[in-house]
């Protein structure tokens, strides 16, 4: 198995899979034989990680981008659905909000400006409804806490107890959904 060793002032040795390659982070004084033994002891983990990465790359390669018409239809559906979810969570949180804008973006699912304007990605319509609710609740919690502090997350979990589960779903599946975006960021 080939790997790259990166030595530093660290005290422990660790493995990382980066861009499909195995990276060993090791203390400067660690002998090559000890590094080789460490890699061999972790061969199963390395192979699982590389297989998982290859599967993810295969799945990403099979993703078909949405057509312009499909994207417009998603944006229209988002304009019908999202304001109702925003109203629901705004009432539960006791917060106000400004304008709601629907966009198709390459990296963001939602945002909240300091003036209370909300932006949401129309691609959320491709996710389970609970994911949409988690994003809406997250953005509206910023109306009370414009940060990601402990108080912010306490508030978020009070209105969306399964936030961690649905945020995890989005982190895992979001890149595939985002890949369906045919073009650059803009309003639809």
Q: Where are the domains of the chain?
A: 4-62, 68-187
CATH class for the region spanning 68-187? alpha beta
Work out the mean pLDDT of the chain and round it to a whole number.
92
Strands 186-187 and 100-104: antiparallel
Q: What is the pLDDT of residues 27-78, one digit of tens each?
A: 999 999 999 999 999 999 999 999 988 887 776 677 788 888 999 999 999 9
Beta strands across the sheet bearing 100-104:
110-112, 118-121, 100-104, 186-187
Q: Which residues pair with 24 in a beta bridge?
A: 5, 15
Q: What is the pLDDT of residues 154-188, one digit of tens each?
A: 999 999 999 999 999 999 889 888 888 764 444 44
Tokens of 76: 């229209």
pTM over 0.85: no
Strands 110-112 and 14-18: unpaired
Tokens of 7: 């030595």
């Amino acid at each position: 198995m080939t790997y790259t060793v990166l030595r530093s002032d660290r005290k422990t040795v660790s493995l990382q899979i980066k861009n499909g390659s195995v990276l060993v982070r090791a203390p400067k004084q660690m002998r090559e034989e000890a590094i080789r033994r460490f890699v061999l002891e972790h061969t199963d983990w390395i192979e699982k990680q590389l297989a998982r990465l290859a599967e993810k790359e295969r799945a990403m390669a099979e993703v078909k981008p949405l057509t312009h018409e499909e994207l417009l239809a998603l944006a229209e559906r988002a304009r019908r659905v999202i304001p109702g979810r925003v109203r629901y969570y705004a009432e539960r949180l006791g917060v106000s909000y400004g304008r709601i804008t629907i966009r198709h973006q390459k990296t963001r699912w939602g945002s909240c400006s300091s003036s209370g304007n909300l932006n949401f990605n129309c691609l959320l319509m491709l996710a389970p409804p609970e994911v949409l609710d988690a994003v809406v609740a997250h953005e509206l919690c910023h109306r009370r806490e414009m940060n990601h502090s402990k108080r912010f997350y306490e508030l978020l979990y009070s209105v969306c107890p399964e936030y961690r589960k649905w945020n995890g779903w989005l982190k895992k599946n979001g890149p595939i959904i985002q890949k369906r975006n045919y073009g650059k960021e803009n309003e639809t």
